[in-house]
Amino acid sequence: MRILILGAALALLAATVTAAQDDQTLQSPETGLTDRSGRAGPDPAPAELVIEDIRLGLKVVDTPSDGGTSLTLTWRPDPSAGELPDVPGAGLRMPLEILRRGPDETEFVNVGRATLRDGEFVDAGLEPGLGYSYRLGISGAAGQQHVSPASAPVVPVGNAFRLHRLNALVAVLLMGGFVVAFIMAARRGADLYIRRISGLDALDEAVGRATEMGRKILYVPGIISVNEPQTLASLGILGYVAKLTARYGTELEVPNIDPLTMAAAREIVKQSYMEAGAPEAFNEDMVHYITQDQFAYAAAVNGIMVRDKPAANFLIGWFAAESLLLSETGQSIGAIQIAGTAQVTQLPFFVSACDYTMLGEELFAASAYLSKDPLILGSIKGQDMMKAAILIAIVVGVVMATLGVNGFVDWFAAV
Amino acid sequence: MKKQIPILLAVIASLCPVIAFFLPQRWINDWMNQRLDEWMVIIASFALLLGIVSMVQTNIHKIRRRARGWGFSIVILISFVIMTSFGLFGGQGAREDGSLYPFTWVFQYAFSPLQSTMFSLLAFYVASASYRAFRVRNVEATLLLIGALIIMFGRIPLGKLIHPLVPQVAEWIMQFPNTAAQRGIIIGAALGAAAMSIRVMVGIERPYMGKS
C-alpha cells in the first residue's frame, strides 16, 4: 500500500513538473514571448527558445512633430563583438523583427521589419496616450528567437505643428507676402513690366490665320483634371482664344479627356462668346468629351486633325507621352502650332514639333499677360521676387556648403 | 451670392490640404485631407456621367449632320453600347474554367493591343521630330546636333570605340548642363504654379467658374 501511495505521489509530481514545463514552453513569463513554431510533442529546453542576447542599445522615443500616433525606435547599427547572437546571416543587412507590446497585451507581437544598418524604425498607427514597449528580435535556428531586453513603455504624444516643415511655412509666407505686396502696389497704380512672351503674342496670329483660311481651331487643354494648375492656366488661355474666335466667327473645337475639365472649359467658352457679343455662335458640341484613356484620346484627336485639318492647334496644359503624337500629327497637316507645358520631359518634343512653345512659368504668366489685370500682374511680380530670393538662397547655400557649413543646406533638405 | 459661395468653397477647399500639411493632428488629416479626396472621387464619378452624355450627344449630332468622318461616330456609339452591356451584364475577369468574360476579353485582346500600337507609333514620331530638330540651320541647331550626337554615341558601345572620352563627355552633358537647365525650368514652373494657386485660392482667378 505504501509503495502504491509513493508511486502515485511520484507520478503526480512528474505530471506536475511536465505540465509546468509545457506552460513555460508556450509562454515565457520572463520574456512575454510565445513560441510560434506551432510544434507539438516533447518540448525542447524552454530557455533556449527565447534568448535575451541582443544588446544594440534599443531606445524608444516619441516621434517629434507628429499627431501622437507614432514612436521612433533607434539602435546601434554597428554593434561590437558579443552584442549580437551568432546566427546565420549576421551583418549589416541582417533582418530585425520589431516586436511590440501594447497597453493591455501580455505578449510581444511582430509589427514590422528593418535591417541592422537602418538603425531606426518608425512605428506608426498607434493610439495617442497609451504606453508601448518594444524588443528587437532575430529568428535563429531551430525555432529559437533572440531578443533584446524590453524597453520601458513609452507614450506617443501629439504635437501642434510639424516643426520640420517650418522651412516650407517660411517659403509660403514669404511668397504670399511678395504676392500681396505687389498686388497692393498694382492697385495703387504702380507700372509693372512683364517681358514679351512670343507664344502668347502668336495667339492672335494663329486665330487670324485660321480665320483667313476658313478652317477650324483645335484647342487641347492637356490630359489632367482641373486640380492641376497647368490645366487651370490652360483654361485661362482658352478663354482668350474663345473670345477671338467668337469675334472673328472662326470655328473652335475643344476635345477633352476629363469630364470636369470639359465642364469648366464649356463654361469658359460660353462666357467668352457672351462677352464677345456672339452668344448665338456658341454650341455645346464645340467643347466635348472623348474618353479618359490617354492613347485612345490621342488617337481621337489625331483623327480630328487628319480629317478636319485645323489651321491652328493649341496644345496647352499637362501632357505626357501623347505630346509628340499630337504635335507631330499637327506638324504633318501644316497647322500653326502653339504649345505650352511645365512638363520638362515633354518640352523637347513640343519645341521640335511646334512653332511656338511656352516653357514652364510662361504658361502660368499667360493670364496676366493676356488680361493685363493689375492684380494678376502683381502676383507675377511677387513670383519673380520669390525667384530672386531662391537664387540668393542657392548662392548662399553653395558658398556655405563649400566652406563646410552644412546647417543652412540641411535646413532646406527636411520637409 | 451666386459668385461668393463658389469662391468661398474654393478658398476653404484649397486651404484644407495646406493646413493639413503643416498641422499633424489626426482629425485634420482625416477630415480635411482624406475626406476631401473622397469627395473629389465622388464628384469625378458623377462628372463622368456628364462626359458620357457629351460624348453620345456630340456623336449623334455628327451622324445627323453627316459631318466628315461620321462613320467613326457610329463605330464609337456601337462600341460604347456593347462594352457597357458587357460590363454591366456580362461579368468581368476570368470564369472558373479559365476563359475570359467578354468585357475582359475585348479589353485584353482588342483595347490593349490598340493602346500599344498608339504608344509604339512614338518611335516613328521621335525619328521625324529628331530629323527636323537636328537639321543644321543656325548656330543653336548645330550645337544641338553636336550635343545629341555625343550623347547618342556615348550611350552605345561604338562611342567608346571612337574615343574613350565620348561616354564621359556624354555623361557630363547629362549631369551638368542638362540637369542645370531642367532645374531652372522646374523652379520657374513650380513658382508659377504656386503663384497661380494663390491667385485661385484668393479668388483673383476663377477658371473653375468659367471666368478666365
A321/B122 CB distance under 8 A: yes
Using 50, 70 and 90 to split pLDDT, how confident is the model at B212? low
Q: Which of A67, A342, A371 sits opposite B192 (nearest CB)?
A: A342
Beta strands across the sheet bearing A217-220: A287-289, A252-256, A217-220, A312-316, A336-341, A356-359
Question: Considering only CB atoms, which chain B residues are within 8 Å of A235?
Answer: 207, 212
pLDDT at A375: 80
Average pLDDT, chain B: 89
Please tell me the distance in Å from B95's CA to the nearest CA on chain A.
26
pLDDT (tens digit per residue) in A307-365:
999 999 999 999 999 999 999 999 999 999 999 999 999 999 999 999 999 998 999 99
Please tell me the distance in Å from B196's CA to the nearest CA on chain A.
6
Q: A272 and chain B: CB distance < 8 Å anywhere?
A: yes
E-strand ranges in A258-411 read: 287-289, 312-316, 336-341, 356-359
For residue A285, with 0-12 CB atoms within 10 Å meaning exposed, 13-18 middle and 19 or more buried, which class applies?
A: middle
Q: How far apart are CA B70 and CA B79, in angstroms?
A: 14
Cα diameter, chain A: 126
Complex ipTM, two decimals? 0.89
Q: How far apart are CA A405 and CA B108, in angstroms?
A: 57
Q: Pairing between strand A71-74 and A59-62?
A: antiparallel
pLDDT at B121: 93
As a whole number, mean pLDDT of residues B54-64 equals 95
pLDDT at A135: 95
Please tell me the distance in Å from A112's CA to the nearest CA on chain B.
22
Q: Which of B65, B191, B200, B211 to mutate to test the interface with A (most CBs of A within 10 A)?
A: B191
Question: Considering only CB atoms, which chain B residues are within 8 Å of A288?
Answer: 54-55, 57-58
Q: In b/e form, how buried is each residue of B47-85, taking b as 16+ CB within 10 angstroms? A: beeebeebbbebbebbeeeebeeeebbeebbeeeeebee
Q: Which of B18, B55, B211 sits opposite A288 (nearest CB)?
A: B55
Question: Considering only CB atoms, which chain A residues are within 8 Å of B197?
Answer: 229
pLDDT at A15: 47
Element (H, E) at B64: helix B35-65
A292/B51 CB distance under 8 A: yes
Q: At what angle do helices A198-213 and A229-248 cross, to 10 degrees?
A: 40
Q: Pairing between strand A95-101 and A133-139?
A: antiparallel
pLDDT at A28: 42
The C-alpha cell at A389 is: 530670393
Name the A residues in 386-405 with CB < 8 Å from any B CB.
386-387, 390
B55/A289 CB distance under 8 A: yes
Q: Nearest to residue A287, comparing CAs of A323, A235, A361, A248?
A: A235
pLDDT at A7: 53
The C-alpha cell at B25 is: 493632428
pLDDT (tens digit per residue) in B78-100:
999 999 999 999 888 999 999 99
Chain A, nearest residue to B122 by Cα: A325
Which residues does residue A99 pair with via DSSP β-bridges, in sequence order?
A110, A135
Question: Considering only CB atoms, which chain A residues are within 8 Å of B69?
Answer: 303, 307
Which phi and psi (to 5°) does residue A38 adopt?
70, 15
Q: How far apart are CA A16 and CA A8, in angstroms?
A: 12
Please tell me the distance in Å from B47's CA to the nearest CA on chain A.
6
As a whole number, mean pLDDT of residues B138-157 equals 91
As a whole number, mean pLDDT of residues B127-142 equals 85
Using 50, 70 and 90 to split pLDDT, how confident is the model at B197? confident
Q: Which of A352, A367, A379 sits opposite B129 (nearest CB)?
A: A352
Question: Considering only CB atoms, which chain A residues are within 8 Å of B51?
Answer: 256, 258-259, 262, 289, 292
Question: Considering only CB atoms, which chain A residues are within 8 Å of B185?
Answer: 342, 344, 347, 359-360
A325/B48 CB distance under 8 A: no
pLDDT at A126: 92
Domains of chain A: 45-160 (2.60.40.10), 163-190+376-413 (no CATH), 198-364 (3.40.50)
Under-50 pLDDT residues of chain A: 1, 4, 6, 10, 12-32, 34-47
Q: Which of A221-230, A341-350, B2-11, B64-73 has the lowest mean pLDDT?
A: B2-11
pLDDT (tens digit per residue) in A214-259:
999 999 999 999 889 999 999 999 999 999 999 999 999 999 999 9
